Amino acid sequence: MGLLAEPARLQELQSYGVLDAPADPRLDEMARAAALACGVPVGLVSLVDKERHFFLARIGTDLVEAPRKNGFCNAAIGAESLFEVEDAALDARFATHPMVTQHPHVRFYAAAPLVSKGGAAIGTLCVIDWQPRKLSEEQRSLLQLLGRQAMDVLEQRKRALLRARVQQALDADLRSHLENVAGYLGKLSGSARDLSCAMLATDAALQTLDDAVEVLDERGSGLNKKPGDLAVACRDLAGCYQLPDRPPLFFTATGDCRGLWDLDRLTRALDAFLERAQGPVRVCVRGLPEAVGLSIRAQALADDGLRVDAALQIFRTHGGSVEWTRHGAAVSLTVVLPR
């Protein structure tokens, strides 16, 4: 799997909830171990945000962040493996960088990219020295090993964050469904259709949250992938929303949309958006050479809610790149799912 493009990479970084977070003792120890293993004074866990490097863990420096432009970590996240600069003063990419020509006069830099299981290079575990040097093969291997362990810690934090949100799942979204059901049952009012719809909506919301928790490791271990046609599954779901009492929904499908999918989870994730969409909605599924694209456009979304977060997680767990944008009230979701 290749690295995610910048918009999806930034969204993935945000999903970890660690930007501007307090230091994590486990990551501090890994930064310390990396510096000791490489025989250098500085070790960092650096997260590459839109315009800055945020140092979630730092040993040997008091810096909390640094500009991203032309920075060392910015270059390192594009590397497929360990990134090393033996003498920055002699390297055309960094020789004029302020951190090289001025205090603290960086000369040596090496980094193991921190790559999420979804394919996003969100930062680095890096080491710095004020003297030129070259790592041994053993040191390079240790730095890469510690980088993978640091990424595991970040994945654990991400899972804990989402589980905490799931435990608080009686947000406005789920509370509304549950109160509707309780109201119908308590007063025995409302039509059978209204009661049925409320119960089904509640079940779907809870199931989407369960889906997200089960597959949080993003390895796909919780997915039940089978051969199927994503266009057919999405068309069937869209048909349920093409009703006289709902906003217009326009569905199009082009090309070959077959692949290995967990269609139950994918359609529940799509349903999380359609159920909230307001105004005319457009759903498009199109076959690409090695993937299938899915896009949703709506004039507005009733609320983001926890179920929408869970749905985005399910798309990413399938290895998909996700772009989720707003223009005023209008919302746009574009997902590219590898076959």
Alpha-carbon distance values, 330 to 160, 175, 303 (Å)? 31, 25, 12
Taking 60 as the threshold, does the pLDDT of residue 138 lie above it? yes
Nearest Cα to Cα of residue 34 among 105, 154, 124: 124
Taking 50 as the threshold, does the pLDDT of residue 274 lie above it? yes
pLDDT, residue 269, reads 85
- Reported pTM: 0.60
Nearest Cα to Cα of residue 99 among 140, 133, 129: 129
The class of domain 168-338 in CATH terms is alpha beta
State how far Cα 129 lies from the chain centre: 32
Do the bridges between strand 121-129 and strand 42-48 make them parallel or antiparallel, or are there none, so unpaired? antiparallel
Question: What is the residue-averaged pLDDT of the chain?
Answer: 82
Residue 151 contacts by C-beta under 8 Å, 6 or more apart in sequence? Answer: 114, 115, 116
Instruction: State the average pLDDT over residues 241-260.
Output: 87
For the segment 11-69, what is each residue's pLDDT rounded down to a tens digit? 889 888 888 888 889 999 999 999 999 999 999 999 999 999 999 999 999 889 989 98
Lowest mean pLDDT among 91-105, 190-204, 324-338: 190-204
Where does 6-163 sit in CATH, by number? 3.30.450.40
Instruction: State the average pLDDT over residues 164-182.
Output: 56
Higher pLDDT, 187 or 6: 6
Alpha-carbon distance values, 14 to 8, 11, 49 (Å)? 10, 5, 9
* Whole-number percent of the chain with pLDDT over 90: 42
| Lookup: tokens for 111 | 């980094």
- CA pair distance 55, 48, nearest whole angstrom: 9
pLDDT, residue 32, reads 96
pLDDT, residue 59, reads 95
- CA pair distance 253, 54, nearest whole angstrom: 42
3-state secondary structure 113-182: EEECCCCCEEEEEEEEECCCCCCCHHHHHHHHHHHHHHHHHHHHHHHHHHHHHHHCCCCHHHHHHHHHHH
Query: What are 65's strand-pairing partners?
Result: 54
Task: Outline where DSSP puts E strands in the chain.
Answer: 42-48, 52-59, 65-67, 83-85, 108-115, 121-129, 226-229, 249-254, 258-261, 277-287, 291-301, 321-327, 330-338
Q: To 10 degrees, the CA torsion angle through 167, 168, 173, 178?
A: 70
| Lookup: tokens for 63 | 């810096």
Where along the chain do its domains lie?
6-163, 168-338
Do the bridges between strand 277-287 and strand 249-254 make them parallel or antiparallel, or are there none, so unpaired? parallel
Residue 4 contacts by C-beta under 8 Å, 6 or more apart in sequence? Answer: 12, 118, 119, 120, 121, 321
Residue 104: asked if its preceding bond is cis (omega within 30°), the reply is yes
- CA pair distance 72, 204, nearest whole angstrom: 46
